[in-house]
Structure 1
Amino acid sequence: MTTTATHLRTVALHWADLHEAAGQPVQVGAFGLGLRGYLARLDEADAEQLEYELHQAAHLRTLERDPIQLGERPTPVRLHVLDTMRAIEAALVACADDIAHAAQRAPISVPAARKADYRTLREARIAAADRRRRTELAHADAYDPRRWRYTGRRTAPYAALWLLARIERAPGPCRRLTDTEAKQVGAVAAGAAERIERALDIAAQRRTLGRPCGCGGQIDVHGGEGRAPVAHCTGCGRIWTDGGMAVA
C-alpha cells in the first residue's frame, strides 16, 4: 500500500523532472496522447487536454502578435505541465499553512528589558546572563529551520519535505498530528503524486472512455510508464493501437 510518506517523497524527488518536462516537446508515446487523436472519431473529449489545447492556442496567437518573438524561438513551454506544477505547489503550501497553524507552537518570547535594583554587582551579572541566555534561546527558536514560515521559501518540494517530517514525527517545534490532520496531508499528498506521475508518464494508468464501443461494450485504455497506449473493448474484444490498427 502506497503511504503518505511515499507520495510526499515523489513530489520532492520529481519536482526537478517537472521543471525539465515543462520545457520539452510533448512526448508522442505518453499515455493517451497519440491514441486520443485516433479515438477522436468516438467523440471522446478529455477535459483536461481540451483546456490545455485552448490555452496553448491562445498563447501561440499572443506570441505571433509579439514582435519580440520574430526570429529563432526557444523550445515551446508545455503549459499543461506548468499548470500542474502550479496546482501542486498551491495545494501543498496551503496544506502546510493549515498544519503549521494548528500544530506548530509559537516561538519563545524574547524577555523584555526591565529596570531592577540589585543589591550586589553579582546579582546584576547573574540577571544579565540569564536574560542574555533566554534571548539567545528565543532567537534560535524563532529561526529554527524546522519551523514552517508563511513568507519566503514556500515551494512544493520544501512543503512536501516539511509535511513529511510531520508525518514521520521528526523533532521540531510541532506537536504530533491528529488522525484528522494526517488524513488531510495524505489526501493532498496522494493528489500531488498522482498529478506528477500523470504529467511525467511514470506510472501505469487505465481509463474507461465515457462513450462505449459500437457493440455496446466499454473501451478501456491502458498505458503509461513510457508504453504506447492501447485501447481494448471489453465487449467485442477489438483493440486500437497508436498506429490506428484495429483487431477484431
Structure 2
Amino acid sequence: MTDTRTTAHQLQQIARLWPDLHDALGDRTQHAWPPPQLRDYIAGLERDALDDPAAYNAARRGLERSPDQLGTRPIPISLRVHDTMRTVEAALLDTADRIARSVQRPPQQPPAPAHAATARTRGERLVWEDRARRLDAARRDACDPRRWQPQHGRTAIRAALWLSGRASGSSGPFRPLSAVEEQHLARVAAGALARVESVLDLADHRRELTAEHPCQCGGTIEVYGGAGARPVARCKGCGALWSEGGVIAA
C-alpha cells in the first residue's frame, strides 16, 4: 500500500529545494559524483582487475565520451542542473495535467442567459436572486485557487504543491486518488526528488562495483558519500578504505 504521507512530503520537499536549483544553475563548478580523483582511483582498481586490456580500453573510451565525464565547461550555466530542472518540471507538469483530468470535478454550469427585466412580484424577485446566487457560485467554483488550471501558473513549484495536496487528500473540487493513481504519483515524486537531491549533492550515494572488479582480497568494493560526507571507497571484505587522496587504511 502506498504511503501517501511520504509522497506528499517528497513533493513539498521538491518545492522547497527548487530555489536552490535556481541558485545552483549559475554555479559552473558542479561535478558528477564521485569526484574525479576518486573516480580515477577506482578506475585504476578496475583496470588492474581486468584480464582483457582491449575490453578495458574500450570501456575507458566510452567513459571519455560520456557527458557525465565532461566536468566544468566554459558555459554560462550548469547543464547538469538545467537538464535536471527541465526533466523534473516536465514530469511534474505532465503528472498534474493527467491527474487533474481524472480527479478534478468540472466547474459548475452557470444558469442560462436571461433578458434583463424588472422584478414586479416577490416571486420574480426570488427567481432573480436565486439566479444571481447560482451565477456567483459558478464563477467562484471556476476560479477556485485549489483547481489545477493548465493554462495558468505552469511551474514546477505549483505542480509539486498541487500534487502534494492530492496525495494528502486535501479538500477541494476533487475525488480521492485511486490506488493506481497513488502508486503512479509515488513513483514520480520519489524519482523527481532523487534527481533534485542528487544534483544538489544532498542524497546519500551508495553503490557497489561489479563482481568483476573486486578488491585484491576478493571482497566487493562499495563507493559511498554525498549528503555532506567525503566520498570514499570501502572493501566489504578486508575493510580497506580509499579516499580522494588515496589509501586511508588497508
* 2:130 maps to 1:130: yes
Alignment of 1:64-79 (within 5 A): 76-79=76-79
Whichever residue aligns with residue 145 of structure 1, its letter is: P
Alignment of 1:199-214 (within 5 A): 199-210=199-210, 212-213=213-214
Identify if the C-alpha distance between structure 1 residues 117 and 160 changes in structure 2 by more than 3 Å, giving closer, same or farther.
Answer: closer
Aligned residues: 230
Give the unaligned 5+ runs of structure 1.
64-75
Give the unaligned 5+ runs of structure 2.
47-55
CA distance in 2, matches of 1:172, 1:119: 36
Identify if the C-alpha distance between structure 1 residues 223 and 247 changes in structure 2 by more than 3 Å, giving closer, same or farther.
Answer: same
- Any idea what SS the aligned residue of 1:134 has? helix
TM-score relative to the length of structure 1: 0.80
* 2:247 maps to 1:245: yes
CA deviation map 1:111-135 (0-9, x unaligned): 1114699994433332222222111
Identify if the C-alpha distance between structure 1 residues 165 and 239 changes in structure 2 by more than 3 Å, giving closer, same or farther.
Answer: same
How many angstroms does 1:11 deviate by? Answer: 0.3
Alignment of 1:93-104 (within 5 A): 93-104=93-104
CA distance in 1, matches of 2:153, 2:83: 20
- Any idea what SS the aligned residue of 1:240 has? strand
Contact 1:31 1:228 in 2 (8 A): no
TM-score relative to the length of structure 2: 0.80
Task: Give 2:110's aligned residue.
Answer: 110
CA distance in 2, matches of 1:17, 1:225: 15
CA deviation map 1:82-137 (0-9, x unaligned): 11111111111111111111110000112111469999443333222222211111
Identify if the C-alpha distance between structure 1 residues 186 and 107 changes in structure 2 by more than 3 Å, giving closer, same or farther.
Answer: same
How many angstroms does 1:52 deviate by? Answer: 4.2
CA deviation map 1:180-213 (0-9, x unaligned): 1111111111111111111111132211123513
Task: Give 2:67's aligned residue.
Answer: 51
Whichever residue aligns with residue 219 of structure 1, its letter is: I
Whichever residue aligns with residue 152 of structure 2, its letter is: G
Identify if the C-alpha distance between structure 1 residues 246 and 116 changes in structure 2 by more than 3 Å, giving closer, same or farther.
Answer: closer
CA distance in 1, matches of 2:70, 2:149: 37
CA distance in 1, matches of 2:117, 2:18: 59
C-alpha RMSD of the superposition = 3.0
Task: Give 1:231's aligned residue.
Answer: 233
